Chain A
Amino acid sequence: DADVTQTPRNRITKTGKRIMLECSQTKGHDRMYWYRQDPGLGLRLIYYSFDVKDINKGEISDGYSVSRQAQAKFSLSLESAIPNQTALYFCATSDQGQGEQYFGAGTRLSVL
């Protein structure tokens, strides 16, 4: 089983809809991250959390919100989806040591 699991793997939605992407991990890490990846732009950080009570904005948080329901779960919501949020979304985790990040398999989101 994957250590970092993202659901769904693919999602097609319409403009204006609210959607949630979920991430769960079995690595026991405190730190969790959400990124989006677009061709030519690399990985861009949306939000990150260092523990259940901690939420921090990344470089592109507008239009997104997150919830850290438990150490193992970190959800990303698009309150009102728009077409330029079409992208590949990755969740990642890390511990407090070396800081190496472990990524989920990704969610491919299309907003029509």
Chain B
Amino acid sequence: GQNIDQPTEMTATEGAIVQINCTYQTSGFNGLFWYQQHAGEAPTFLSYNVLDGLEEKGRFSSFLSRSKGYSYLLLKELQMKDSASYLCAGRRTPLVFGKGTRLSVIA
């Protein structure tokens, strides 16, 4: 199968760093996306990794290890507005989405 696993919920403190993990079976995907979704709104694209390693975009970074079937999204200097669900998606046609991780940022 092509299951993608993510933690269901996480809580972190404003100003801190949080890492959201995503694991999947190693065959079948040729890239990994991360999306952010605020409650009741559309998912929006955050990052894409096709090669192993770290991609950095401001406060957000994403890492991929294809051999381990593992990715993470790193959020630094957390802000209250980062409270949202974060969806990991394997690149296939069509994309295969995980169920998302709901992140709550507390003061």
Cβ A100 vs Cβ B99 within 8 A = no
Q: Which of A31, A45, A48, A103 contacts B44 (CB 8 A)?
A: A103
* CB < 8 Å neighbour of A100 from B8, B40, B48, B97: B48
- How far is the CB of A80 from the nearest CB of chain B, in Å? 26
A100 touches B45 (CB 8 A): yes
Does residue A74 face the partner (Cβ distance < 8 Å to B)?
A: no
Known contacts: A43-B87, A98-B48. The answer to whether A103 contacts B97 by CB under 8 A is no
Partner pick for B97 among A43, A48, A99, A108, CB 8 A cutoff: A43
Question: With A99-B95, A101-B95 given, is the CB distance from A42 to B45 under 8 Å?
Answer: no
Q: Which of B22-46 contact A (CB under 8 A)?
A: 31, 33, 40-45
Residue of A nearest to B98 (CB): A42
Question: Would you call A16 an interface residue if the criterion is a C-beta within 8 Å of the partner chain's C-beta atoms?
Answer: no
From residue 60 to 111 of chain A, which have CB atoms closer than 8 A to chain B? Answer: 88, 90, 94, 98-106, 108
Interchain CB contact (< 8 A) of B41 among A98, A102, A105: A105
Q: Among A42, A90, A104, A106, point to the contact of B99 (Cβ < 8 A).
A: A42
Number of B residues, CB within 8 Å of A? 20
Q: Judge whether A58 is part of the interface by a CB distance below 8 angstroms.
A: yes
Main secondary structure of the interface of A (DSSP, over half): strand
B94 CB-CB contact with A under 8 Å: yes
Q: Are A42 and B48 in contact, CB atoms less than 8 angstroms apart?
A: no
B97 neighbours in A (Cβ, 8 Å): 42-43
Q: Within A7-54, which residues are at the interface with B (CB < 8 Å)? A: 31, 33, 40-43, 45, 48
A99 and B50 alpha carbons, distance in the complex (Å): 11
Q: Report which residue of B87, B93, B94, B99 has the largest number of chain A beta carbons within 10 angstroms of its beta carbon.
A: B94
In the assembled complex, the Cα of A41 lies from the Cα of B40 at a distance in Å of 14
Residues of A within 8 A of B (CB): 31, 33, 40-43, 45, 48, 58, 88, 90, 94, 98-106, 108
Interface, chain B (partner A; CB < 8 A): 8, 31, 33, 40-45, 48, 87, 89, 91, 93-95, 97-100
In order of increasing CB-CB distance, the 5 nearest A-B pairs are A42-B99, A103-B42, A43-B97, A103-B43, A48-B94
